[in-house]
Structure 1
Amino acid sequence: MANKVVHTRELIQEVNLELVNTDADTNRVIAVSDINRPGLPLAGFLKYHAVERVQIIGKTEMEFLLSLPEDLRKKRLMGLCASEQTPCLVVSRGQQIPECLFEIVSLQKLPLLRSELATTKLAGRITRFLDQNLAPETLVHGVLVDVYGIGILIQGASGIGKSETALELVKRGHRLVADDAVEISQIEDNILVGTTPPLLKYLLEIRGLGVLNVMTLFGAGAVRTHKKIEMLIKLEAWKDEVAYDRLGLDEEKVRILGTDLTCVTIPVRPGRNLAVIIEVAAMNQRLKRMGYNAARELSEKLLKTLGDDAEMKG
């Protein structure tokens, strides 16, 4: 999986920033979503200066900069702007650009951007854009559905019935996110969001019928463009020799992009209504999220009953 990057020109367009020095190199690469307010570099401490981050100059930094003698101001700005790894400088609150700052960024071809937004709002908007576009991604085979608000990724061997199950769930009022291929992004620690490749948007393939457009058939309420993934359900052909979990005490986990997902294996055989089983799995997951675990409660009751019986016999 290749590391993702965005370019300064994309940041300018998406966050609606003004490019002050129009001859700057807007092809500079942004590879990290963290931003930096360069208070210490402007004070002369450059040892741990994060040159690879977007640099935001707020009112505090600007007032400090203007308070410096002109020679020292130029020296500090040269240190701030020296690295070719620095993607851009962004000035908030529509502040006036000091002439020496304009001269130095022009010399270095470093993009100098400006926004009318307050510093905190500007930093939040830039961070959200970078988080979305630099998030680690992977592509998996499966079907993603939204069932009772729970994003469920359904996986299994080809022909096991994933798409047919998704179709039944859509008919029962749930929503399709992606069929066949699911793009998964880790937008935050332990948060995975799934979407569909643009070419397959709203499409569902059913053997014997072909490709169906779910939004056209069932309406806009039957589809979603993206959904947080909270659960993985694996469908596999029923094997008589396998002892399947009947209590649900031991939760299996599967790791995707460093995030652990609850995984449930459902054996498939004629007569089992997979859509209903998945609905119940989603409702049970919601209860667990609220702190109620039926299997654990049953286990505790059994242990208590066995303990009481042992005391009575003793």
Structure 2
Amino acid sequence: MAQINVAELFKQTRRKLKLSWVAGLNGGSNTLTSETVTKPSLALIGHLNFVHPNRVQVLGCAEMDYLRSLPPDEAITAIENLYSTDLAAVIVANGEKVPKSLTVAANKHAAPLFTSTLRSPELMEILSHFLAQAMADSISLHGVFMEVQGFGVLVKGEAAIGKSELALELITRGHRLIADDIVDFYRISPDRVEGRCPPLLQDFLEVRGLGILNIRALFGDNSVKPTKPLDLIIQLEMADKLAPQNLDRLSIKTLHEEVLGLKVSKVHIPIAAGRNIAVLVEVAIRNHMLLLRGINATKQFTQRQQREMKKNRA
């Protein structure tokens, strides 16, 4: 089960959300989990709600006005009730002044209290998006992940088959590297799996005989990209290891591979001496584009052949 603690959440979002940590410094280890995200009854982020408190409470102008409208004793009681729940953190948005009772409660219950100058709806939108990505189901796969002609392409194959050399050729042709060797994939929405490069490997490509290459330094910033949705899987296979009966000359069947429960289109490309694999990959992606538009060359050829056969019988 994916999770993130409040200290890491603050570290990764403080600039974008313009956060300041004002109280509850001992609560950095409080965690938010993916299980919380998926349960509708346990909303992860929300405005002040004393009936169903959220894991991260966002207090905007209306919420702070409500607290200020309460008599001091009732306001303290309401805040104590809020902090007595399984609360991870509180964010006071809109640059609102933080009452002392909130600070005292945050320190008492070791629940971080942040302030932000952003408007509460904007803050919630950004934070919700961040948490959805940070705590999505994930898997790490071996291969090279590229952006080729705008599509996210995972190149797979056994060791030493030439994946990195293919990636280098594609980069020289203007395409972009996302990750080499290990790719982290996240199910960020029901119909989308996103690939990311582990921080340790960013910008690097290992090519036998050349060693580790810094692609950004060699080819510029446009040669690399941090993330990309997965659109297509290219499986490289040695042609001499494939039995003739396993070679699909017409590609009548559309192949798929499941990644985090999502079916992703897959193309097998046999590797043999003299074959320009980079060109084959580019054409495979162009053909994938046509298939998405409903243009299937194999079906067109088959239909044309059947028409000719009918003419010959007549």
> Is 1:105 paired with 2:109?
no
Code of the aligned partner of 2:64: M
Code of the aligned partner of 2:191: N
Number of the residue aligned with 2:177: 176
Query: Helix, strand or coil for the counterpart of 1:179?
Result: strand
Number of the residue aligned with 1:246: 249
> Is 1:273 paired with 2:297?
no
> Is 1:36 paired with 2:45?
yes
Code of the aligned partner of 1:206: V
Code of the aligned partner of 1:157: E
Structure 2 CA distance, aligned partners of 1:242 and 1:159? 25
> Is 1:9 paired with 2:10?
no
Q: Evaluate the alpha carbon distance shift between residue 76 and residue 242 of structure 1 in structure 2; reply closer, same or farther with a 3 A threshold.
A: farther
Query: Helix, strand or coil for the counterpart of 1:159?
Result: coil
Q: Over aligned residue pairs, what C-alpha RMSD do you find?
A: 3.0
Task: List alignment gaps of at least 5 residues for structure 2.
Answer: 38-42
Write out per-residue CA displacement over residues 131-180 of structure 1, whole angstroms, 9 at most, x where no aligned residue: 34323332211111221111111111112221222222223222222222
Code of the aligned partner of 2:125: G
Q: Write the mapping of 1:120-159 to structure 2, written as runs, cut at 5 A.
A: 120-159=121-160
Structure 2 CA distance, aligned partners of 1:67 and 1:164? 67
Code of the aligned partner of 1:196: C
Answer yes or no: is the 8 Å Cα contact 2:94–2:116 preserved in 1: yes
Answer yes or no: is the 8 Å Cα contact 1:35–1:123 preserved in 2: no
Number of the residue aligned with 2:40: none
Answer yes or no: is the 8 Å Cα contact 2:152–2:228 preserved in 1: yes
Q: Evaluate the alpha carbon distance shift between residue 179 and residue 19 of structure 1 in structure 2; reply closer, same or farther with a 3 A threshold.
A: closer
Residue 24 of structure 1 and its aligned partner are, at CA, apart by: 4.7
TM-score, structure 1 as length reference? 0.82
Query: Helix, strand or coil for the counterpart of 1:9?
Result: helix
Code of the aligned partner of 2:226: T
Code of the aligned partner of 1:212: L
Code of the aligned partner of 2:263: D
Write out per-residue CA displacement over residues 233-262 of structure 1, whole angstroms, 9 at most, x where no aligned residue: 111122233333333342211111222211
Q: Alignment identity in percent?
A: 33
Answer yes or no: is the 8 Å Cα contact 1:35–1:56 preserved in 2: no
Structure 1 CA distance, aligned partners of 2:212 and 2:289? 32
Code of the aligned partner of 2:2: K
Answer yes or no: is the 8 Å Cα contact 1:190–1:258 preserved in 2: no
Write out per-residue CA displacement over residues 116-138 of structure 1, whole angstroms, 9 at most, x where no aligned residue: 11111111222233234323332
Q: Evaluate the alpha carbon distance shift between residue 247 and residue 241 of structure 1 in structure 2; reply closer, same or farther with a 3 A threshold.
A: closer
Write out per-residue CA displacement over residues 40-88 of structure 1, whole angstroms, 9 at most, x where no aligned residue: x32xx34xx44xx2111222333334444555444433332113x3110
Code of the aligned partner of 2:9: L
Number of the residue aligned with 1:20: 22
Query: Helix, strand or coil for the counterpart of 1:78?
Result: helix
